[in-house]
Structure 1
């Protein structure tokens, strides 16, 4: 049974242990701070619609140990990744389904995912999980949890279920790909690096113990501390999913000294750094000053340069044209769901995003110099944000197989379409769409 989360309902009051026993300070229970933070992070996503990477940092501050903060994040991410299937398990063990926003359901989700996905011992999960219930039925939660684990078939499926609205849209859009997409969401992705100098690919793949899927790329096993890896401090590379690195590659090397490129909605800067490394004089525009600060920090670390502009692209007007423009448009980000499973549980109406994408593309067309290259890209699996937007007055410049990692091919229209089920044998890839034109 596929069940979408109910994002309305009561908030959590998590300061004591609840009605089935005497109150106890959670701080006295080892490991409880991490579970409390995880519960609050999941609540922030499902009830308020906050992105997990924004909700997490303030909620993790009370957790003193770095390993506990990492555990809390893993619990929250895996709970959201397997939410549909966790709810199915819970409902199979209750005579009457718990409300979607019930505290007992929320705690049970976290408890089950710790055992079934993170392989933590049940006794430790019980000791740190049940005290999270305040004013709630701890005995019921304990009984449901124990009943599920005592069954011989207590397990999650091979691939996570999708929330009902997402499943309906993707079955309609990608009927032949839906099983592969779901399978591609079962595990968090590996760590992809983009190199500042593609000529050094073999060197960095060997030095870091990774593999390369195309020049200028190295893939490592997930779970590594990025700041401690060789080459980080000297700026030899930056973290960027393989799919996210393709749009800037489609623009290519600067054709001459002084060639200008515009990166619209540029922060946090991966594509800006790619363009700068390819010899372009880059203008990086974003309306978020805070995000542009992060871009600037990345540029300083890598020794690359770009002009940054803090402005709304719908209000800003350049004083000159550009030889290349990358429209990395704001979107639903559903293509990143294997690394950000929360995105599938907080989707808002896409009408405003689609209108914004259309306007950004139209403005970029007007700013492109004759003979210039325009690339439109979104990290989305929604055709309304990708294929439906790939039309403008410029001349299409089809993407070729030679420009893509092995295992990927352009669409019949000459566009790029990836999804999390592609190149699965090599670790998968985010969902992306890109199209290219020439003025």
Structure 2
């Protein structure tokens, strides 16, 4: 709530604190917390700034906390309000270009009494010392250890560079249209693909109103690319937000999209209407849903830790704790086994996750051993330049992929064929 004695700009900082509390203490996604946290902000600019403060804080959280701890006699609790206030003040002054006096003046009203003096003192000490944030930012310690162990030093270092700046925006085109590609003016890294700079107002781009493309990271487009065009039946499980459903439908498949969220399926239906494509929408729990008939293709876009989308959603690095990852991996194993029952003899089963955790990707695929299914190895000639299958025939996209072109989300894809 805005208070009469707040300096101008304080309400946006208070909203940023609510956002950070929702993510770090309550475990909510940043976007899911936006409506509630910014409800008392009247201006879109203020809402955008609150989001920018929170997102940049989450990108740089380990380094902000290291600075704060270097200037206090003993570490403050992780969820202490003075720590939150200092994170917000420091990220403005050291990363977002806010003058130091404005950064601290608009944050001090967020704390009272002795903590206010502590925040003012620590902030002043760090600014006078001339401390800076490292570039690129450090990953959370546990994440850095996991990813170094799984993918090596180069990938972990690439992840640090990847989180340092907003990711570019990828568009998947409804058809392979060279004229539209030229009109959009970005880089085309694959058939039916255009990449435009981060921050582009996509609604203003050519072809948006006419439904000639949709936003979808190039890595997220790979599972449906590995299915290709067809005229049979396709089921996508856990389909929302729906980019893969749109790919399947525009590639000729008679597609059914299953998701537990009615509102997310509603947004998918709106997007399908915008691009002039059709699919059957079913609100159901994919873990127990049974189709009327088996399908030629089943694509399981499994719920996961989503650590692969950390460039756009830095909060995943702080929300995806080992216990959560383990629980999600167990769900994926069950979903994959259930999805297999929906595949026709001779049909295709594709399992995909936007995760950088091997326990959610490789380990699930290796453990899938139904007798009438076999890995259908991904081939290099099926993939856009810059992507490659691994020795087991799976596709793993790690940090550093397409680095010179702006990078790609972390992803895993496995493809299985059922015996005829």
Q: State the TM-score, normalized to the length of structure 2.
A: 0.94
Asked if 1:352 is matched to 2:327, the reply is yes
More displaced 10-residue stretch of structure 1: 385-394 or 156-165 = 156-165
SS class of match (1:341): coil
CA–CA separation in structure 2 for the residues paired with 1:222 and 1:15: 32
Asked if 1:160 is matched to 2:171, the reply is no
CA–CA separation in structure 1 for the residues paired with 2:99 and 2:197: 25
Q: Deviations over 1:120-147 (max 9, x none)?
A: 2222212212122134522322222122
Paired position in structure 2 for 1:260: 233
SS class of match (1:320): coil
Q: Structure 2 residue aligned with 1:397, among 351, 372, 376?
A: 376
Shift of 1:406: 1.6
Q: Structure 2 residue aligned with 1:107, among 80, 85, 98?
A: 85
More displaced 10-residue stretch of structure 1: 115-124 or 333-342 = 115-124
Shift of 1:170: 2.1
Q: Structure 2 residue aligned with 1:279, among 227, 236, 252?
A: 252
Shift of 1:15: 7.2
Paired position in structure 2 for 1:426: 405
Contact map agreement 1:185 1:420 (CA 8 A) in 2: no
CA–CA separation in structure 1 for the residues paired with 2:400 and 2:169: 17
* 1:215-226 equivalences in 2 (<5 Å): 215-226=191-202
Shift of 1:242: 1.0
Shift of 1:224: 2.1
Contact map agreement 2:375 2:415 (CA 8 A) in 1: yes
Q: Structure 2 residue aligned with 1:47, among 25, 34, 41?
A: 25
* Off by >3 Å, runs of 4+ in structure 1: none
Shift of 1:425: 1.0
Paired position in structure 2 for 1:410: 389
CA–CA separation in structure 1 for the residues paired with 2:399 and 2:145: 17
CA–CA separation in structure 1 for the residues paired with 2:297 and 2:102: 56
More displaced 10-residue stretch of structure 1: 164-173 or 366-375 = 164-173
Contact map agreement 1:362 1:392 (CA 8 A) in 2: no
Contact map agreement 1:338 1:420 (CA 8 A) in 2: no
SS class of match (1:301): helix
Contact map agreement 2:2 2:11 (CA 8 A) in 1: no
SS class of match (1:371): strand
Q: Deviations over 1:11-57 (max 9, x none)?
A: xxx876xxxxxxx633xx22112111111100111111111110112
Paired position in structure 2 for 1:58: 36
CA–CA separation in structure 2 for the residues paired with 1:70 and 1:286: 29
SS class of match (2:105): helix
Over aligned residue pairs, what C-alpha RMSD do you find? 1.7
CA–CA separation in structure 2 for the residues paired with 1:370 and 1:417: 27
Instruction: Count matched residues.
Output: 411
Shift of 1:330: 0.5
Shift of 1:168: 3.0
* 1:319-334 equivalences in 2 (<5 Å): 319-334=292-307
Q: State the TM-score, normalized to the length of structure 1.
A: 0.90
Asked if 1:25 is matched to 2:2, the reply is no
CA–CA separation in structure 2 for the residues paired with 1:295 and 1:353: 24
CA–CA separation in structure 2 for the residues paired with 1:61 and 1:405: 43
CA–CA separation in structure 2 for the residues paired with 1:333 and 1:65: 31
More displaced 10-residue stretch of structure 1: 272-281 or 162-171 = 162-171
CA–CA separation in structure 2 for the residues paired with 1:195 and 1:271: 12
Shift of 1:268: 1.3
CA–CA separation in structure 2 for the residues paired with 1:330 and 1:359: 12
Q: Structure 2 residue aligned with 1:369, among 332, 336, 344?
A: 344
CA–CA separation in structure 2 for the residues paired with 1:183 and 1:63: 33
More displaced 10-residue stretch of structure 1: 227-236 or 243-252 = 227-236
CA–CA separation in structure 2 for the residues paired with 1:270 and 1:90: 41
Asked if 1:387 is matched to 2:328, the reply is no
CA–CA separation in structure 2 for the residues paired with 1:35 and 1:137: 17
Paired position in structure 2 for 1:122: 100
Asked if 1:335 is matched to 2:311, the reply is no
Gaps of 5+ in 1: 1-13, 17-23
Q: Structure 2 residue aligned with 1:205, among 168, 181, 194?
A: 181
Shift of 1:380: 0.4
The 3 A distance-change label for structure 1 pair 237 and 149 is same
